[in-house]
Structure 1
Amino acid sequence: MSPPASTGRSRDGSDPGPVYLVTSADQPELGTDDRLLHQALLAAGVPVTVAVWTDPDVPWHDAAVCVIRSVWDYHLHPERFIRWLSQVSTVTTVLNPPRLVAWNTHKRYLIGLAAAGIPTVETVWITPGSNADVRQLLDDTGWEQALLKPAVSASAWLTGKVRPGDAEGQRLLGRILRHCDAMLQPYLATVDRDGEVSVIVIDGAVSHGVRRKSALTGDIEVTRHGSPHEITPAERSLAERIVGLLPEQPLYARVDLLRDDADRLLLGELELVEPVLYLRHARRALDGLATAVRRHACHRTGASAPTPRPGAPLGAPA
């Protein structure tokens, strides 16, 4: 059973309903950034419970809002996670919006974004049951080094560099295809040198930027810490374009950007499920996120849920 809710009176006299911060069983006390959000919500007078999404005893219907946060195991149980998302969304408001979350769990969303004009990393998609040969694919593409990863994944799980003549690449592909589709992309040398830039969007507005080392360094905690980055006009513009294509406004989003060898800015991933938001680097973002969550929690009936954006190019995510 999840811990009992903490309580607090709001400063302006209104009464927000209970907020559940959703986590995984291996993160029962949330990730570092999410603990900051927990504290900020209490300071804003919001009753908060930390709830594990796989816990069958959690009374989800008691929550005014469930905010998905440190569910860093969802990729290990994707079908169960989608079922949970569908069930919980019938009894309470879930943020990010459930259809955005479901759409974002499989990286095929990149295909739709590319079709809408967003520059993305070139990708070869490999489906289970295919007879794909990694060596042949690298010969066909001419890539001297590539990144092989699952299309449903988190924290660089089953992700690795592959090279022509490297037998390990075929073994890795086999492991991935037992789980889901695989993605093969050219490995960009700029990632080793510069890492990635993450643009964080809170409640519809660009909040702050972070430069992150590649998760392939093997130290995921270093990646999750990052360092403050001053967002360039080009990075801001691309992040705003990407989020603007979504048919609903997310509560939070992280747009991971990188550059190719020609210095062109590309979308690496759009994170809408459980991204680290690097709130430790931006107090204003932390306060803004807490304020937005509180606003949703003050509308128990769900009236504050994100509204569709008519005519959004991506349509309704599956």
Structure 2
Amino acid sequence: MSDAIRVALATSTPGLALDRDLPAMLAALRARGLDAVAVCWDAEGFDWSACAAVVIRSTWDYAERRTHYLAWAEAVAAVTRLDNPIALLRWNTDKRYLHELAARGVPVVPTRFVAPGEPPILPEHGEFVVKPAVSAGARDTARYAQRHRDAARRHVAALHAGGATAMVQPYLSRIDEGERALVFLGGAFSHAMRKGPVLTEPGVLDNDREAHPGLLPHQPSAAELDLAAAALAAVPGSHTPLYARVDLALADDGSPVLMELELVEPNLFIIDDDTALRRFTDLVHERAR
């Protein structure tokens, strides 16, 4: 395949081990005649400029080295096509983008950001969640009941000690009805999945929990599709993302609210939808050419 157009799917050591979509993506791209390779984003000596396109996939260890990661992405974007674009990576790798979306009228889970040096203000009623503003795969995230307030404060303090900004959000009472993940490819809705709650036990910080328990196909409601479209329309810039995953849940009144807008390295559940794999392959092929 020496004369084939080279496309790199950027991953990581955890991604090589755990990314369920990666083998299917590589096989589909190679079947289209592309020289598709999976490469850890921090691999030494790899020539990114030899690629017609670099598609960011499972770079799941970026949160611990965000500055280094964005510098790598900037260097790649200077020599070839990067999907998603560097501007979206800068914006989306810090969850303070939720404030910006809320200011633009997108219904989001109420979120308070607590920077290092600021005292945590915890909800006075109900359960709540504490997590870092820069994270992937729900790492360093825990659910707390009111009886766990001291543990929650220690959690915030530990995040601050590591230089991280903490997030505090209410734990949605209807989360047991499932988190919805709506996947968009090339700006168009592709498919959706629903999973069970991840933070099943209050007061427990467990970075080895299953990320997508009870995963099932989901038929989104009109309200969910409208919210997803509104969230994507509020993304700054004029670039249409190669991919996007819009994570939603139900508020107490049953209306959908945005939990996260994933534009960097989300699991796209490609192997769970044959049409999505073909669409993804078509888009990468078109953009690489």
TM-score for the superposition, normalised by structure 2: 0.91
Please state whether the residue corresponding to 2:146 is helix, strand or coil: coil
Instruction: Work out the CA distance in 2 between the residues paired with 1:143 and 1:75.
Output: 31
1:58-103 residue CA offsets vs partner (Å, 9 max, x unmatched)? 1111111000001110001111111111111111111011100111
What displacement does 1:165 show?
A: 4.0
Query: 2:186 maps to what in 1?
Result: 203
Corresponding letter in the other structure for 1:127: A
What displacement does 1:228 show?
A: 0.3
What displacement does 1:279 show?
A: 1.0
What displacement does 1:287 show?
A: 0.4
Whether 1:107 and 2:95 are equivalent positions in the alignment is yes
What displacement does 1:45 show?
A: 1.2
Instruction: Work out the CA distance in 1 between the residues paired with 2:197 and 2:59.
Output: 20
User: Conserved in 2, the CA contact under 8 Å of 1:198 and 1:254?
Assistant: yes
Query: 2:138 maps to what in 1?
Result: 156
Please state whether the residue corresponding to 2:194 is helix, strand or coil: strand
Root-mean-square deviation over aligned CA pairs: 1.8
* Alignment map for 1:1-318 (pairs within 5 Å): 7=1, 17-28=5-16, 31-130=19-118, 132-133=119-120, 137-138=121-122, 141-166=123-148, 167-177=150-160, 178-191=162-175, 193-217=176-200, 220-221=209-210, 223=212, 226-246=215-235, 247=237, 248-298=239-289
Instruction: Work out the CA distance in 1 between the residues paired with 2:111 and 2:211.
Output: 27
1:9-58 residue CA offsets vs partner (Å, 9 max, x unmatched)? xxxxxx86210000112333661112211111111111111111111211
1:221-248 residue CA offsets vs partner (Å, 9 max, x unmatched)? 4607721001211111111121122322
User: Conserved in 1, the CA contact under 8 Å of 2:137 and 2:211?
Assistant: no
Instruction: Work out the CA distance in 1 between the residues paired with 2:265 and 2:81.
Output: 16
Q: CA, structure 1 residues 111+173, in 2 after alignment: closer, same or farther (shift >3 Å)?
A: same
Corresponding letter in the other structure for 1:159: T
Instruction: Work out the CA distance in 2 between the residues paired with 1:224 and 1:90.
Output: 39
User: Conserved in 2, the CA contact under 8 Å of 1:163 and 1:169?
Assistant: no
User: Conserved in 2, the CA contact under 8 Å of 1:224 and 1:278?
Assistant: no
Structure 2 gap segments, 5+ residues each:
201-205
Corresponding letter in the other structure for 1:189: S
1:201-260 residue CA offsets vs partner (Å, 9 max, x unmatched)? 001100011002233246654607721001211111111121122322100000000111
User: Conserved in 1, the CA contact under 8 Å of 2:138 and 2:211?
Assistant: no
Structure 1 gap segments, 5+ residues each:
1-6, 9-14, 299-318
Please state whether the residue corresponding to 2:285 is helix, strand or coil: helix
What displacement does 1:270 show?
A: 0.1
| Alignment coverage as a number of residue pairs | 279
Corresponding letter in the other structure for 2:93: T
User: Conserved in 1, the CA contact under 8 Å of 2:183 and 2:191?
Assistant: yes
Instruction: Work out the CA distance in 2 between the residues paired with 1:143 and 1:234.
Output: 28
Please state whether the residue corresponding to 1:223 is helix, strand or coil: coil
